[in-house]
Amino acid sequence: MEIENFVPSNQPPLLAFQDLIDSFHLLEKMGEMARIGAWNVDTKTTTHTWTKELFVIYEMDSFVPLQLEKILALELPSYRHLHLNAIRELVEKGIPFDIEVETLTLRGNHRWLRIIGRGLFDSEGRITHRIGITQDITDRKRLEQEACENLRKYKTLFEEISDAVLLIDEETAQIEDTNSGSLKLYGYARDELLGKEFPTLGTDPEFSLQILRSRHTFVPLQWHKKKDGTLFPVELTLNCIRIQGAWKHILVARDITPRIEAEQKIHSLLREKELLLREVHHRIKNHMQTVESLLTLQAQASEDPYVIDTLEEAKSRLRSLGILYDRLYRTQQIQHLSLKQYLPRLVRELMDSFPRKVPISLEIDVEDIVLPVKQLTYLGIIVNELVTNALKYAFIGKSEGRIRVSAHEIKDGGQTERNEKGHTQKGVEQDRSLHHGQKQIGSVSLIVEDDGIGIPESLHLQDPSSFGLQLIRILVDQLGGSLRVSHQKGTRFEIEFQKHP
């Protein structure tokens, strides 16, 4: 082909030649960017012509093109036959080729190459030249291999996971892919499950369809059925994704039969425990009534006023515990009870059972504070002692009286009283001058007060002489609380303690 054929009629030949050179350099630059080298082989003379990028691809120091034998020798053995056969097909039959081979460079580095070859033929149909391009596709191959490896890992994970994993089309609700866990869970063969509509796996197809349409992400409980009709509970986790323009759901169904059975067993054991504890509470209450009756008989048989008084006090303490266990037996809670359900009845029964010489009014202000049985046991005996002492000693010589019992939870961190020395002792405090300190938010304050004559100034709670006050001090210590006593306008006992869980 003559160069004049490329030259416009109005362009000088030298300028046209310069354009060709510029175009050649442009093509070489583009080949460098795309990592593509071109080659031309004269089949008669076996002369090889390469572009610059081919020398770069093979990491050559010289610019002498490699012969076919050297190129084949660099290729890994499994690819030499492929390349040689492609060339033979091109030369003998004129069939173009497009192959990928793994090869070594002259520096020993691995390369993946895509080789595309074509033939140039003379007028008689005989091949005169083999021409083509060679592209370095090492990076692409590496990415493909990594993608294949990741796909293999995910496919293995997909198949080995014990839960059922389903790929569901949102529009048709049909199952498009599934793992072996699904086959085991539902009892179907893979070809039976593929194409099946997901809602038909559940006992409520309409709800199952609604799950897909509304794109729920989690369903804690739904009943599904196996191929043989067996029903079982499942937990569903869904994730909606878009694949090739269509919305799909990746759904994981987990058989929660073992968990349901375990929960039922736990509930059954809890019910048995509740029944057992109720029976224990009932028997304790009955035993206390028996002991109280024995104490009554013993008191009636004695003529000693001190013995009678001591037995009556013991009966009163037992009665406070009997009321607590009676309440526990009658309520739903067996380990906790509200102060509001316990203290008012206890105080009223004490008032009703104690002989009074003067009218005594009763005020009760108890919040709904739930406490464990152990703390309620201590509080019941403490209140019994304080109210009984008030009824016995507070109103001697008075024409009337008032007793007030209150309990509330401290919410605002008010002030707490200190003794005359400013000390705050754990367990017992005796206040004479009403110095104040900070209350502890969240603790419980129990107050028993009267407007009687007050306890003697000589009485010291740190070293009480009476058994009742000794018992109160011991029980306050058991509560981990503090006790404060005020003597203004009667007697005021305040107990502060932390709630136990």
DSSP bridge pairs for 407: 366, 446
Name the residue ranges covered by the structural domains of the chain.
Answer: 35-142, 150-255, 273-333, 335-501
Note if the pTM is more than 0.75: no
For 87, the 3-state DSSP assignment is: helix
Architecture of domain 150-255 in CATH? 2-Layer Sandwich (3.30)
Distance CA 213, CA 171 (A): 8
Confirm whether 35-142 and 150-255 share one CATH topology: yes
Q: Is the dihedral of CA 380, 433, 499, 474 positive or negative?
A: negative
Q: Is the distance from CB of 37 to CB of 53 less than 8 angstroms?
A: yes
Q: Is the distance from CB of 288 to CB of 325 less than 8 angstroms?
A: yes
Question: Tens-digit pLDDT profile for the chain (501 aa)?
Answer: 344 444 455 556 666 556 656 565 666 677 677 788 899 999 999 899 998 889 999 999 988 999 999 999 999 999 999 999 999 999 999 999 999 999 999 999 999 999 999 999 998 889 999 999 999 999 999 998 888 888 888 888 788 888 999 999 999 999 999 999 999 999 999 999 999 999 999 999 999 998 888 888 899 999 999 999 999 999 999 999 888 889 999 999 999 999 999 999 998 888 877 777 777 766 777 777 787 788 778 888 888 888 887 787 777 777 776 776 666 656 656 678 888 988 888 888 888 877 777 899 999 999 999 998 889 888 888 988 898 888 888 888 888 999 999 999 987 765 444 443 333 333 344 443 333 445 677 799 999 999 998 877 666 666 566 777 888 888 899 999 999 988 878 899 999 999 887
CB-count burial class (<10 Å; 0-12, 13-18, 19+) for 168: buried
DSSP bridge pairs for 364: 405
Q: Checking DSSP bridges between strand 415-418 and strand 370-372, what pairing results, if any?
A: unpaired
CATH class assigned to 35-142:
alpha beta
CB-count burial class (<10 Å; 0-12, 13-18, 19+) for 1: exposed
What is the number of alpha carbons within 13 Å of residue 117 lying toward its C-beta?
22
Which uninterrupted H or E stretch holds 156? Answer: helix 138-160
Q: Is the dihedral of CA 341, 342, 347, 350 positive or negative?
A: positive
Closest C-alpha among 206, 257, 207 to residue 232: 257
Q: Name the packing angle between helices 305-330 and 257-301 (round to 10°).
A: 160
Tokens 């090492």 belong to which residue? 138
> How high is the pLDDT of residue 429?
43
CB-count burial class (<10 Å; 0-12, 13-18, 19+) for 6: middle
> How high is the pLDDT of residue 492?
92
Closest C-alpha among 167, 388, 161, 381 to residue 254: 161
Beta strands in 82-205 (DSSP E): 97-104, 110-121, 127-136, 164-169, 175-178
Distance CA 119, CA 115 (A): 14
For 286, 321, 329, 339, 344, the CA distances from 281, given in Å and listed in that order, are: 9, 10, 6, 18, 20
Query: What are the CB-based long-range contacts (under 8 Å, 24+) for 124-132?
Result: 125/94, 127/43, 127/90, 127/91, 127/94, 128/42, 128/43, 128/44, 129/40, 129/41, 129/42, 129/43, 130/40, 130/41, 130/43, 130/87, 130/90, 130/91, 131/38, 131/39, 131/40, 131/41, 132/38, 132/39
Architecture of domain 335-501 in CATH? 2-Layer Sandwich (3.30)
